[in-house]
Amino acid sequence: MDKLCWISSTNSRHARKRAEIPFMQKKLIRRKIKLIQEKSLFTGRYAQGILQFRDLEKRVGSGDLFLYSYGILYDHLAMQARGQKKLRLERLASSYYQQGIIRKVGGFSPYWGLGRILIHNKKYAAGLRYYRKACNMQPGDRKAHLAYAVALYWAGRAKEAKELFLADYKKYGSSFQVSFNMAGIEKKLGNRAKSRAYAVEALRFWRRNKYRRTLFGKAWEKYLEQLTLN
């Protein structure tokens, strides 16, 4: 078993103390979890993020709050792995997502996680069902519909993804997520001028982002810069 093995929160003494954590303290814990998660994803230091979660969980308890974040970091570790290690890490990530659904924490995010694993394994129909489930849980939630649009793009359904992104663009105006994805979609569909325009727009947003100088931040910027030259 990998060094970064799963310690079930169900069996920990932290789980028994969940109800004791005051609301404001829980809010601060969520903020810290989000910060560790974002930094780990942008820097590619997934294992380090998991160890930071473990340390924080020991200090504050409330293992349920960590479920989705553990899942997404193990999920990304799986993307770097091969063979049996990849399968083991995917099962580990799925177990966290499933516990999030069972314990009703993380909203619709655990459904995204399960769907993402399936889509990365080219099980597109099954993966998209999880994203639709998230949309149905909160029909008016913008993030759920944008995530579904991204999943459609991953699944090779660029025209459908484009419709959802354009609907968001018309309703809310320009944003990095929409411009970034539309730049790729328009290139895929052969619309180079539109692709360049969206890439320029996305770069304007991205160059103000605090994660611009990280590993993946630099990769995204390079990708967008290349699209502006096509």
pLDDT at 93: 98
pLDDT at 11: 40
What parts of the chain have a pLDDT lower than 50?
Answer: 1-19
Q: What is each CA distance from 218 to 11, 21, 202, 209, in whole angstroms?
A: 41, 39, 14, 11
Strands (E) in 74-185, as ranges, are: none
Domain borders along the chain are: 157-230
pLDDT at 19: 47
User: Tokens 């611009």 label which residue?
Assistant: 212
Strands (E) in 126-205, as ranges, are: none
pLDDT at 62: 73
pLDDT (tens digit per residue) in 125-142: 999 999 999 999 988 899
Cβ within 8 Å of residue 54, ≥6 positions away = 7
The model carries a pTM of: 0.85
pLDDT at 24: 72
pLDDT (tens digit per residue) in 187-197: 999 999 999 99
pLDDT at 206: 97
Strands (E) in 50-111, as ranges, are: none
Q: Letter for the amino acid at 90?
A: E
pLDDT at 13: 39
Averaged pLDDT of the chain: 90
pLDDT at 21: 64
User: What one-character DSSP code corresponds to residue 138?
Assistant: S
Closest C-alpha among 18, 17, 23, 111 to residue 72: 111
